[in-house]
Amino acid sequence: MKYDLNLFPAFMALMEERSVTRAAERLGVTQPALSNTLNRLRETFRDPLFVRERYGVAPTEFAESIFPTVAAALEQFDELVRTQQTFRPAEAERLFTIAANSYVEFVVMPRLVARLRDEAPGVRLRLAPFGDDLTEAGVMSGAAALAVGRVVDQPDTVVVQHLMDEGLACVVRADHPDVGEALDRATYERLKHVNVLPPGRLRAGLFQALDRQGLRREVAISVTHFLAVPEMIAVTDHCATLPRLICRALERDPRLRIVEPPVDLGRFPVEMAWHARHRHDAGHRWLRSVVADTAKTLAR
């Protein structure tokens, strides 16, 4: 039976994006071209495959059933080709999806993008959210090349590499009336706090560190991203306890001031995870080395 293998990347893009517009952008084609490809897929499988919904498209039951098989087959083809290719960063044209938590987006990714600009201008990155679930992040399916953040309970098929350890510091407004050169325990416990709640189980990290030290904290507001913190601190007498590299970036804001917490709150790991299927992919090995070296530079 004859069929066009070029149809299947379109199927994968539609399954993962659930939108013709986003899938077309991801594939670098026009929407009419993708619609034509979808029509050919429907003829091949004799199934609608995707039906319109209010905010995009939804796969049919048949499309859901063949998705794992198609994904596995394409991954095997990709691995077969990549093991025979030499990866030259300066000449490469490739898109990598990285699942990253908000800390990694804020701290690591700007440095990584700047490095790629100089070393691999044809390599593009697509960031996806990462809480602590490697399946949701796309690592298990191959939709994401890497997950970077805090990795817990990884399956045997996933490799985890430690990148660096990070500490914690506090940020207050520059002219805070109650905070001098140092932040003592009584003042810390008396202040109201801005708390960052990342997705997943990682939200317990700072709370556990505070509990270990017997340090109380009155949370006035919880936000979902570090980018929300500076404006809230700048216009209130609140305090935020944040990773040190986040604080280093915020230190450039003249409205803010960084102070040490009243006790040692310990350190937390930043890790990188990928599926073992990528072990022979030269491009993937290069990407891992660049991410690891970028983190190493930041840790210094």
pLDDT value of position 212: 87
Q: Are residues 173 and 294 in the same domain?
A: no
Q: Are residues 26 and 102 in the same domain?
A: no
Torsional sign, CA 152, 153, 158, 159: positive
Q: Are residues 207 and 222 in the same domain?
A: yes
Output the domain CATH number for residue 224.
3.40.190.10
For residue 124, being part of any structural domain is answered with: yes
Q: Which string of DSSP letters, residue by residue, matches the chain?
A: ----TTHHHHHHHHHHH--HHHHHHHHT--HHHHHHHHHHHHHHHTS--EEEETTEEEE-HHHHHHHHHHHHHHHHHHHHHHTTS---TTT--EEEEEEE-HHHHHHHHHHHHHHHHHH-TTEEEEEEE-SS-HHHHTTTTTS-SEEEE---S--TTEEEEEEEEE-EEEEEETT-TT--SS--HHHHHHSEEEEE--SGGGGHHHHHHHHHHT---EEEEEESSGGGHHHHHHTSS-EEEEEHHHHHHHTTSTTEEEE--SS----EEEEEEEEGGGGG-HHHHHHHHHHHHHHHHHH-
Q: Are residues 150 and 281 in the same domain?
A: yes
**Residue 92 · residue 122 · CB < 8 Å:** yes
pLDDT value of position 202: 47
Q: Are residues 125 and 180 in the same domain?
A: no
The count of residues in the chain is 300
Residue type, 160: V
Over its C-alpha atoms, the chain yields an Rg (Å, rounded) of 23
The parent domain of residue 138 ranges over 94-162+269-299
Q: Are residues 13 and 75 in the same domain?
A: yes
Q: Are residues 175 and 210 in the same domain?
A: yes
pLDDT value of position 162: 96
Q: Are residues 228 and 292 in the same domain?
A: no
Strands 168-173 and 256-259: antiparallel
Count of domains observed in the chain: 3
Q: Which of 82, 114, 148 is the last residue of a domain?
A: 82
pLDDT value of position 51: 94
pLDDT value of position 143: 81
291/180 Cα distance (integer angstroms): 38
pTM, to two decimals: 0.71
pLDDT value of position 160: 94
Torsional sign, CA 59, 65, 67, 70: negative
217, 220, 225, 229: CA torsion to nearest 10:
-90
For residue 142, being part of any structural domain is answered with: yes
For residue 2, being part of any structural domain is answered with: no
Per-residue pLDDT of the chain (300 residues), as tens digits, is: 566 778 888 999 899 889 998 888 888 889 999 999 999 999 999 999 999 988 889 999 999 999 988 888 887 777 666 665 678 999 999 999 999 998 999 999 999 999 999 999 999 999 998 887 888 888 887 788 999 998 888 888 899 999 999 999 999 999 999 998 889 999 999 999 999 886 554 455 777 788 888 889 999 999 988 889 999 999 999 999 999 999 999 999 999 999 999 999 988 899 999 998 888 788 999 999 999 999 999 988
